[in-house]
A and B are shown apart, each in its own frame.
Chain A
Amino acid sequence: MRQTIRALGWASNVFWIILLFFTVTAVYSAFQLRPGFGQPYESTSGGTFTVSLPFHIDNGGLYDISDVNLTTLIKDDYGLSVSNSSTFVRLIPHGSNVSATHQMSVSVSQIAAGNLWYLLLNDSTFNIDVALKLIYAHAVPFKISSNLTMPWGAPLSNLTLGTPSFTPTEAIIPISFENHSFFVLTGTMRLEIVDNHNNVVGERTTALNVQSQSGFGTELDVSVSGDPTNIREARLHFQTSVFNYGPLVIALV
């Protein structure tokens, strides 16, 4: 009995020493971590806007860091996912420095094609959920997360068709919008005039080259076949370097 009690006492002491050693070295190692971020850079390609964020982690501690996963989830005001990006680093051994680049992509062409098309017309606010998950010392899963907001500028903000005026053969339609987005809107805009019988009775294509944070306004003269007073609506089609969108139907009467 006495030997068993003594053995249990020794076992308890040994466990305490291991636990204290692990605690002290883990805290010390945590303070030896030197994470850092590089200069973020932007790129636009094929309707996708990408922000690249280089980062590095200098693990000067005594324990490995594994399964490092940096995720960013961008959502609109209604909680719909706009972009979901993830960067995974399998292992950061102790005493080493690992660099990686996290890329957050927002595809404007996908916004235009899906149920987020309203973002082309309305400014909004994006909610960005950022989370960094890792396993410390192969034993302690750890996660740090935050929530940020980012303004979204619509490329076709305040799109308005003014009151049309008519000549016997033409409809003159004022059109204006503001490009609040981060990109230059280059491409074409096609305006179709549709009469009460759902026939396209006139159309006009105009070139667009609208700088970021600037407005566009013009009056389009559209030749109309038939009676111009019979027209019902206008249909707008945008074909730009960043997105294609249309038809956007606007009543003219």
Chain B
Amino acid sequence: MLPRISKAAVKAVLYFVLLYLVPSILISQLAEFAPDLFANYSQLLRLFVAVVIFFVVASELASGTIFQHAFNIGKAIILIIFYVLALDGGVISLNLNFESVPINIWADLRVYLMMLITIDLLGLAKGLLQAINFLSEKTELQVPTPQPAK
């Protein structure tokens, strides 16, 4: 159990640095140019990192069991929902005020969203196949080997 916990902790720290610290620094630098534009995204980033780290740690702790694959499948589904919600279905619109002039920014990121969803669908398919493979291997181990007839 201890190696699993330490492995999960190392992964959590790595994901935290890669997915939170580095993007946070980038976002804070970009926010200097347009504070209104990036203000909401730091909150979304925190939520995204929390979801990913939860599933990575849970999956690691449950490794070697069917729950590992269940967590991977859950992660893929939750992230698809998260991406759709975070990107407003792929069409984002922001209203800003630049020196008291109202500015509306609109971007159609559906191609980008499709790419994200494709990646997560691949992860979902992989998780499902891993779960099926895990169960079939387990079943094979439980079935007694037929003995030759005497």
Does A4 count as interface, using CB distance less than 8 angstroms? yes
Cα distance, A15 to B126, chains bound together (Å): 14
CB distance from B56 to the nearest CB of A (A): 15
Cα distance, A11 to B133, chains bound together (Å): 19
Does B2 count as interface, using CB distance less than 8 angstroms? no
The proximity string for B residues 105-119 relative to A, scoring 1 for CB distances below 8 Å and 0 otherwise, is: 111110110011011
Given contacts A5-B133, A19-B115, A19-B116, contact A11 B107 (CB under 8 A): no
Residues of A3-41 whose CB lies within 8 A of B? 4-5, 8-9, 11-12, 15-16, 18-19, 22-23
Given contacts A8-B122, A15-B115, A15-B118, contact A146 B108 (CB under 8 A): no
CB distance from B41 to the nearest CB of A (A): 13
Q: Is the CB of A143 within 8 A of B119?
A: no
8 Å CB contact of A8 from B104, B108, B109, B126: B126
Does B103 count as interface, using CB distance less than 8 angstroms? yes
Contacts of B129 in A (CB 8 A): 1, 4-5, 8
Assign chain A's interface to a size class.
Answer: 20 to 34
Contacts of A22 in B (CB 8 A): 112, 115
Given contacts A15-B118, A142-B107, A145-B106, contact A1 B123 (CB under 8 A): no
Q: Is the CB of B112 within 8 A of A142?
A: no
Q: Is the CB of B115 within 8 A of A142?
A: no
Cα distance, A11 to B102, chains bound together (Å): 43
Q: Is the CB of B119 within 8 A of A2?
A: no
Cα distance, A18 to B132, chains bound together (Å): 29
Cα distance, A8 to B73, chains bound together (Å): 14
Does A147 count as interface, using CB distance less than 8 angstroms? yes
Does B5 count as interface, using CB distance less than 8 angstroms? no
Interface of A, secondary structure class, is helix
Given contacts A1-B133, A15-B118, contact A140 B101 (CB under 8 A): no
Cα distance, A146 to B118, chains bound together (Å): 35
Residue of B nearest to A144 (CB): B105
Q: Is the CB of B126 within 8 A of A5?
A: yes
Cα distance, A1 to B128, chains bound together (Å): 11
Residues of A119-151 whose CB lies within 8 A of B? 139-148
Q: Is the CB of B133 within 8 A of A148?
A: no
Q: Is the CB of A140 within 8 A of B103?
A: no
Q: Is the CB of A11 within 8 A of B122?
A: yes
Given contacts A1-B133, A12-B123, A146-B102, contact A140 B108 (CB under 8 A): yes
Does B130 count as interface, using CB distance less than 8 angstroms? yes
Given contacts A12-B123, A146-B101, contact A1 B108 (CB under 8 A): no
8 Å CB contact of B106 from A5, A8, A9, A144: A144
Contacts of A9 in B (CB 8 A): 126
Contacts of A1 in B (CB 8 A): 129, 132-133, 136
8 Å CB contact of A12 from B102, B107, B111, B119: B119
CB distance from B116 to the nearest CB of A (A): 7
Q: Is the CB of B104 within 8 A of A12?
A: no
Residue of B nearest to A5 (CB): B129
Given contacts A1-B132, A15-B118, contact A140 B111 (CB under 8 A): yes
Contacts of B107 in A (CB 8 A): 140-143
Q: Is the CB of B102 within 8 A of A147?
A: yes
A-B contact pairs, 8 of them (CB 8 A): A15-B118, A16-B119, A140-B108, A141-B107, A141-B108, A143-B104, A143-B107, A146-B104
Known: A1-B133, A23-B112; 8 extra A-B contacts, CB below 8 A, are: A1-B136, A4-B129, A12-B119, A16-B119, A140-B108, A142-B107, A143-B105, A148-B101
